[in-house]
A and B are shown apart, each in its own frame.
Chain A
């Protein structure tokens, strides 16, 4: 690797990192929070078997899971304006990523809720708690423990998935790399650099997941 390339990578690094922390990370955090909210509500509606709403949840999950994320991004950003719905690029990305990942996470949460033994709910009733109190104190914490590895999957996948926002003009880290590359034309080096930053951050998340699971296992005995 010659000095020029090294200099390019060195110059690019702070710009990439800046975009990473000012765009990629906030985009991930906001989208994931939205997804989690949607997932918990959607899963709880199905778990509680709320009529009509339950069917709506199934339709939502069906449509979202069966259409490509990229198409959803285009549809909202380039398609909806012709209906007079005009959103900025960043909010569009948050909305689409959140709604998209929410559908998958909803299924994770539903499965985890259903995996909590039914006796937990019955015991809650028998000590005088109501449905929401039992959900909050007993069922949801246990479901979250079960869902945790899958939810971590979703988070890690979302960190990298935000690079798709580049196609709707959000200048997150990957788009920043494209922009720089347009000037210096060092695709291999620059995109490797971007990949390494994703790799480093996601590795940290993986370690965080392992550490958290150990903490969560404290009560678990055989869990």
Chain B
């Protein structure tokens, strides 16, 4: 097992957003976290990477156990250096070129020398099909291109797991495909991925495991095929139905 979180609780100003969430990720897993807006899935992902501090909960990461509310800054950094995070709105460094966006973390965060960093960066950009735009600035790119650079930024550090927080939600419909294609290829290459998404097709075809959240709780979790074929909970069934109707496939 690579990552496990147990009994995570989190409130904002007294109102709970995560209630007793537990989750397991093994190497090579692609786990889709589904659920309606406000169900807590983004907060869960942010807690797992400590962009938010949970009120309680433990994490087991690569064999070591951490108490999430009191984890030290050094431990957080050590864990983050083995993970990558892809944001909904890309969050590329606006004052840096595409290449610098990918190398900055390697050089200043991970103390890699420039030559190696640029080599790793170009390889990562190649994987997402952005190797020909290394000198562009983020705001000169389309949303889909920015998101692919963001994925390359994560990939370049050779992470053990990549977290995706609704990576296609900010994109125009015609740009979603290029990002999903990149993600699908990563999954095929065996990358461990934890993906908060509204893309049912992606969840159904690419993930091997689904976690369905609603009202700050995990309602149902299980292997993808089973989840879609035989949802156990009524809440799950109605959610799947509403999404399929939205996508015009019901």
Binding site for B on A (CB under 8 A): 117, 119-120, 122-130, 133, 137-138, 141-142, 145, 218-223
Contacts and interface: CB of A to CB of B under 8 A. Distances in A.
Nearest to B92: A123
Given A122-B87, A128-B109, A221 B137 contact: yes
Contacts of B244: none
A130 B78 CA distance: 11
B137 A220 contact: yes
A126 B139 contact: no
A133 B110 CA distance: 11
Contacts of B89: 119
A123 B108 contact: no
B155 to A, nearest CB: 11
Contacts of A120: 91, 93-94
B6 interface: no
B87 A123 contact: yes
A128 B91 contact: no
Chain B residues touching A, range: 20 to 34
A222 B95 CA distance: 13
Nearest to A143: B95
Contact of A219 (B83, B137, B153, B157): B137
Contacts of B84: 126-127
A129 B94 contact: no
B129 interface: no
Nearest to B156: A127
Nearest to B46: A122
Given A120-B93, A142-B95, A219-B137, A127 B109 contact: yes
Contacts of A145: 95
B153 A127 contact: yes
B139 A137 contact: no
The 5 closest A-B pairs by CB, nearest first: A127-B105, A221-B139, A128-B109, A119-B91, A123-B91
B81 to A, nearest CB: 4
Q: Output the residue of B89, B94, B95, B109 with the most chain A CB within 10 A.
A: B95
Contact of A129 (B91, B92, B105): B105
A222 B83 CA distance: 32
A222 B105 contact: no
